[in-house]
Structure 1
């Protein structure tokens, strides 16, 4: 009986599609993978996106889960599983505690103090103390960089004879954004000081973000995306050289759980409050399977299809073109009734999403250019509980209704609670 294939899932936190084109091309070239140029995340933040893409179901969708990317599921099939991340939400939602390791978070304020106290304390910490400590060599990067995760992964996989399931979830592109600091200012800014600024700004109100500071942070974010992309490509090369990944046998995917919005005018700096802007939900995706040809799929797909794309048995996954669909849904939320988002979009560039706030429901109808988040424009933004945008393309409202409405009731998988959401600032 043939040995089951190894499965590698390399996902980045807060990596938007338009900042990962070179990464996708490089991985596809090395693996013969399929590029999905219009992939959409289940949600705009980790607490809703990771559980959805791991199980193939939105977090507010009832029903049994038949396929799963959780390490425990693959362990039962004889796989040696490894999950490495410093994102506590992803770690607990994916039962990492029993399958791998977490660590690297240098700041424990969220676990020690109420959120109302930690926000100003944490902002002060990042504005003043943390960059100084970094310059003096007294503080490590806030999260373990990709290179460290790769070293740990290769150590754990060395000499392994059982089939491997390895999921690395990188935090380099989550604030505070990481690039190596050689001690000199680069492109007119200090990486550590700007990284600290990125974290302090995402903890505040988007309306208060200074435009000049936003542009500086955006430059660092772009560099972090490029650096992470280079690290991931080097890791794929190392897997090939060590024989851990073979294109004629194994499965490998590169993606992100959501994107990042650094445009304060959209009401978001980072990825909260939840919304469905293109910069938040359009993500990179390349999947390499020995039973798929090297190709590009331009139709939109949803990451909720990822478990089906990564089925380890050869021939069990549908052809890549079968995952295309006219509508793609997103769902996001916090632990409160305020801030819940459900969005539906069509392949022709029309999108409708609703944001539940403390004052009611804000329905937003937008038009976007695929691959260009900056070109997304608001068509209608009427306000009022239960109201809907006028002139919405035929079928879009109906599809939203079929999905449970523009804004649905939030439900959460076990293991994702308030303390986990606070750890990355996902709860106000």
Structure 2
């Protein structure tokens, strides 16, 4: 296996495509990679997106083209399992508490997750106390240097990754999942912090657990600015990391494979009845993500057609295994062949036993189920530009509305996948402490 290529997957949490567009273009140029400016995530939040990225199947068990769920003996293996079975040393670095459970992975031997934010909070905290903590106590403690972010910054993950890669005896599959662009946004800075940074960082976290009725539009402006700074800082850190990998011989663009993407985006656009990325809804800001793939057998190019990250395992040319249903060849498809007229999203609703589904046509029109405080409905929207804020709602309907008579309509296409809402294939629940740490629960 000495000649096998190293494979790197660098993904970010809550990273929308438009906020990372400049960095994406620079990385594609530096890597002679293929850039996919219209890449669609398989779900709008981590717990449903990551399993799909890793297996090439949505969380309802269906495949990219709507294949029916398989039995337990035919469940697809994750990227980590496939690479291990192919003789790779696998490295997974992240501080998202939902990430490893979503992949069925145990904590790593190097110490596992760093201290999480929920460990600083009483488990039975009331809404009033929690808001007071994030609005007053938390920013003051941060300003005094008593608290750091609950996640390690990209630079710390990069240091650990280089150590693990240098110690590896054979080829590596290295998956780093960054939290720098997840709330609470905390971009690194060499300059002295302004008091506004502390307040806005706390505000960005508390907005995710507030009722949308409590959010003033003017509150979103400083939050957007802080988020943009976090995205810019992450782009710089990733560029430096790749450059150091090349300098040390760990990444050779003529041999190795490297992809940069995100599991989902982030919403700070007004009029969406939500801030952040839950509850489940496939707004453009949540499902349009950056994607660059650098392979020595792919020419440097831009594929403007819509692609779906459900095809990520194929893009990385996962080595074939002996497991049933696995491909006999690891040959990747050509970049242009990955184009999809319809890109689907499937999310298991947090705290509920149902699924919400969506479909995006390559012209930017979407139909998707959306969970709200009042239940689940369906929205038809159109996003004719690269500005997620320009997305407009054309129709609201009940989730159980009959599909259109035209077999080519989005409602008919989504109905063939089970419609905008359906029953989850299992009753899996998530740890409330983990969800609270990420700002998903009040």
Q: Please report the TM-score for the alignment, with normalisation by the length of structure 2.
A: 0.88
Q: State how 1:278-317 maps to structure 2 within 5 Å.
A: 278-312=284-318, 316-317=331-332
In the superposition, relative to structure 1, how do residues 239 and 346 fare at CA in structure 2: closer, same or farther (>3 Å)?
same
Where 1:266 maps in the other structure, the secondary structure is coil
Q: Does 1:409 align with 2:423?
A: yes
Q: Is the contact made by 2:208 and 2:276 (CA closer than 8 Å) also made in structure 1?
A: yes
Q: In 1, distance between residues paired with 2:7 and 2:346?
A: 27
Q: In 1, distance between residues paired with 2:113 and 2:88?
A: 23
Q: Is the contact made by 1:206 and 1:264 (CA closer than 8 Å) also made in structure 2?
A: no
In the superposition, relative to structure 1, how do residues 341 and 272 fare at CA in structure 2: closer, same or farther (>3 Å)?
same
Instruction: Say which is worse superposed, 174-183 or 412-421, in terms of deviation.
Output: 412-421
Structure 1 match to 2:135: 127
Structure 2 match to 1:32: 32
Q: Is the contact made by 1:381 and 1:389 (CA closer than 8 Å) also made in structure 2?
A: no
Q: State how 1:22-421 maps to structure 2 within 5 Å.
A: 22-61=22-61, 62-63=69-70, 64-66=74-76, 68-69=78-79, 71-94=80-103, 95-98=105-108, 101-109=111-119, 113-114=123-124, 117=125, 119-182=127-190, 184-185=192-193, 190-312=196-318, 316-337=331-352, 340-357=355-372, 359-382=374-397, 384-387=398-401, 394-411=408-425, 420-421=434-435
Structure 1 match to 2:64: none
Where 2:389 maps in the other structure, the secondary structure is strand
Q: Is the contact made by 1:201 and 1:269 (CA closer than 8 Å) also made in structure 2?
A: yes
Deviation at 1:160, TM superposition (A): 2.5
Q: Does 1:425 align with 2:425?
A: no
Instruction: Say which is worse superposed, 410-419 or 17-26, in terms of deviation.
Output: 410-419
Q: In 1, distance between residues paired with 2:100 and 2:315?
A: 22
Q: In 1, distance between residues paired with 2:440 and 2:109?
A: 25
Deviation at 1:420, TM superposition (A): 4.0
In the superposition, relative to structure 1, how do residues 353 and 100 fare at CA in structure 2: closer, same or farther (>3 Å)?
farther
Q: In 2, distance between residues paired with 1:388 and 1:377?
A: 22
Deviation at 1:127, TM superposition (A): 1.2
The C-alpha deviation readout for 1:238-262, integer Å capped at 9, x for no partner, is: 1111111111111100000000001
In the superposition, relative to structure 1, how do residues 160 and 151 fare at CA in structure 2: closer, same or farther (>3 Å)?
same
Q: Is the contact made by 1:42 and 1:331 (CA closer than 8 Å) also made in structure 2?
A: yes
Q: Please report the TM-score for the alignment, with normalisation by the length of structure 1.
A: 0.91
Q: Is the contact made by 2:200 and 2:222 (CA closer than 8 Å) also made in structure 1?
A: yes
In the superposition, relative to structure 1, how do residues 6 and 272 fare at CA in structure 2: closer, same or farther (>3 Å)?
same
Q: In 2, distance between residues paired with 1:196 and 1:319?
A: 44
In the superposition, relative to structure 1, how do residues 279 and 137 fare at CA in structure 2: closer, same or farther (>3 Å)?
same
Where 2:280 maps in the other structure, the secondary structure is coil
Deviation at 1:324, TM superposition (A): 0.6
Q: Is the contact made by 2:370 and 2:376 (CA closer than 8 Å) also made in structure 1?
A: yes
Q: Is the contact made by 1:39 and 1:300 (CA closer than 8 Å) also made in structure 2?
A: yes
Structure 1 match to 2:324: none
Q: In 2, distance between residues paired with 1:57 and 1:110?
A: 36
Structure 1 match to 2:20: 20
Deviation at 1:3, TM superposition (A): 1.4
The C-alpha deviation readout for 1:276-312, integer Å capped at 9, x for no partner, is: 1100100000011111111111111111110111125
In the superposition, relative to structure 1, how do residues 98 and 142 fare at CA in structure 2: closer, same or farther (>3 Å)?
closer
Q: In 2, distance between residues paired with 1:209 and 1:391?
A: 40
Q: Is the contact made by 2:259 and 2:294 (CA closer than 8 Å) also made in structure 1?
A: yes
Q: Is the contact made by 1:35 and 1:296 (CA closer than 8 Å) also made in structure 2?
A: yes
Gapped regions of structure 1 (runs ≥ 5) = none
Q: CA RMSD in A?
A: 2.6
